[in-house]
Amino acid sequence: MRKLDIRLSAESGRADYTLRAGEQRLALNGWLGQRIRLHHTGKIHCIECGRATRKSFGQGHCYPCFSSLAHCDLCMMRPETCHYFQGTCRDPAWGERHCFRPHTVYLANASGLKVGITRGTNTPGRWLDQGAVQALPILDVDTRQQSGLVETLFKARVSDRTNWRAMLKGEVEPLDLIAERDRLLAELEPGLAELRQRFGNDAIQTIDDVPPLAIDYPVLEWPRKIVSLNFDKTPRIEGTLMGLKGQYLILDTGVINLRKFTGYQVAVETEAA
């Protein structure tokens, strides 16, 4: 298994989902309302080196890869802790290719207002993965570490997390992201000015010419109660596919975050009504 491939239709504004298992691809939107069965065979393979592993670390890695690869380091989750300039980066060449490139600071609404960062080329993919129904890029930043420092400023005023249960229940009220952007930029201007003085005025630039993006997800019915499904506890999972949001399948029997089980060997069956 790999994480769900999600693309945003330019015509409809709706997310289109594809299930990826090995070389197989299954377009999921057309299976809404139909039965789907997922069976974990008990095998897990590292998505980096391919070796068998009893447990998956960092969404699909064996422990040696998880503990040695640069993209599995803690600084990827907390980029403000980047230690490249201390000479301790796990793979300096990888860091130069991936971290010293433009990043975007954004506001999104997945279960309420949140702040986040992503590579400048990873929109709207990042927002689709999070199940955001609204998103707005607000700042262009030169490097990943700098974007993490900017995000840290914002986290004093707004959450950087999604309430996944509320997101999956569809309990998301629309927000005026333009007004929220203007409010936060005004409140945080002293901190942003300090960062610009440190890294240069051009290192952090405001985005004010991009409108908010609205995203629609293929959901027939929202669950009233969230029942989380887990291959480690229940190898066989089946039910009627009621919706798709973020990296979750919404079944009439519960919900499952497929990204969590990257690297798991899973057999997939569908059954038309």
Contact 69, 90 (CB under 8 A): yes
pLDDT band, residue 271 (cuts 50/70/90): confident
pLDDT in tens, 143-173: 999 999 999 999 999 999 999 999 999 989 9
- Could you tell me the two tokens for 52? 């068998």
Query: E strands, 58-195, where?
Result: 103-109, 113-119, 134-141
pLDDT band, residue 120 (cuts 50/70/90): confident
Q: What are the backbone dihedrals phi and psi of residue 224, each rounded to the nearest 5 degrees, phi first? A: -80, -35
pLDDT above 90 for 11: no
Alpha-helical segments (H) within 131-254? 144-154, 164-169, 177-187, 189-199
CA dihedral 241, 37, 126, 115 (to 10 degrees): 70
Alpha carbons 262 and 34: distance in angstroms, whole number: 24
Question: How high does pLDDT run on average in the chain?
Answer: 95
- Could you tell me the two tokens for 132? 């955001």
- For the chain, the first-to-last Cα distance in angstroms comes to 25
The pLDDT value recorded for residue 40 is 97
pLDDT in tens, 15-61: 999 999 878 899 999 999 999 999 999 999 999 999 999 999 999 99
DSSP character for 143? S
DSSP character for 61? B
pLDDT band, residue 273 (cuts 50/70/90): low
Stretch 250-254: mean pLDDT: 97
Alpha carbons 33 and 243: distance in angstroms, whole number: 8
**What length does the chain have?**
273
pLDDT above 90 for 267: yes
Alpha carbons 185 and 191: distance in angstroms, whole number: 10
Residue type, 210: V
Stretch 95-124: mean pLDDT: 95
Stretch 88-92: mean pLDDT: 96
Stretch 196-212: mean pLDDT: 96
The pLDDT value recorded for residue 262 is 96
The pLDDT value recorded for residue 12 is 87
- Percent of the chain, pLDDT > 90? 94
Residue type, 136: L
Residue 222 forms beta bridges with which residues? none
Whole-number Cα distances in Å, 225 to 87, 112, 235, 254, 255: 49, 19, 22, 8, 10
pLDDT above 70 for 238: yes
pLDDT above 80 for 272: no
Contact 88, 81 (CB under 8 A): no
Alpha carbons 200 and 142: distance in angstroms, whole number: 10
Residue 77 makes CB contacts below 8 A (sequence gap 6+) with none
Stretch 192-197: mean pLDDT: 98
